[in-house]
A = this chain, B = another copy of it.
């Protein structure tokens, strides 16, 4: 502590107007995160520090900072002296993810007795986007829209932290879909469910919407878990 500790020792209380100007590590993490949910790196694969800091043009230390972030989000797993690997979810993980989704999504939907106009609109927008993508047979965007739908449902809780948790859960769910690469026909049947849920929600029947979502989640989990256990037994 020097004589004149010049630096202010508390953060600006002002709410950020300018975007926080991401640091390099955060930018690398963002790029990696998108690559991961896009399935660029197959689940279970090891990510070489040497190769990636070459690829991104950053130093090893910066890359490692980015790794920590994604490990915390469970997109990567870290093994001492072995390196980081793309997450490889198991059927247990699938079950746990759906437990978390029930906890996060259902109360958000039920609690939406007087939901904000904007939040409901976002749910509807995701439904529209999904149906449009199905029309165009753009299966990738359809899957993305489905994720956005569930993100919007959790968004009804109007909580920054709940939103953060939910996006983590959904990112990990993307990994699940990549383990068994069958995103096409997987999301398609659920679009109608999404539409139904939104209709009930918009009409004020949060209760009914929650019931629909419950059966949705049950069905989706069953489908995934059976596919997973079959795959695991085969391996």
Contact = CB atoms under 8 A, between A and B. Distances in A.
Contacts of A157: 99-100, 103
Interface string A199-229: 0000000000000000000000000000000
A102 to B, nearest CB: 7
Interface range on chain A (Cβ under 8 Å from partner): 35 or more
A107 interface: yes
Interface string A78-105: 1110110100101000001101101110
Contacts of A8: 46, 82
A169 interface: yes
B45 A9 contact: yes
A83 to B, nearest CB: 7
Copies of this chain assembled into the complex: 2
A88 B45 CA distance: 39
A158 B99 CA distance: 8
A96 B160 contact: yes
9 contacts: A1-B51, A10-B45, A10-B85, A11-B77, A64-B65, A68-B69, A102-B111, A103-B107, A107-B107
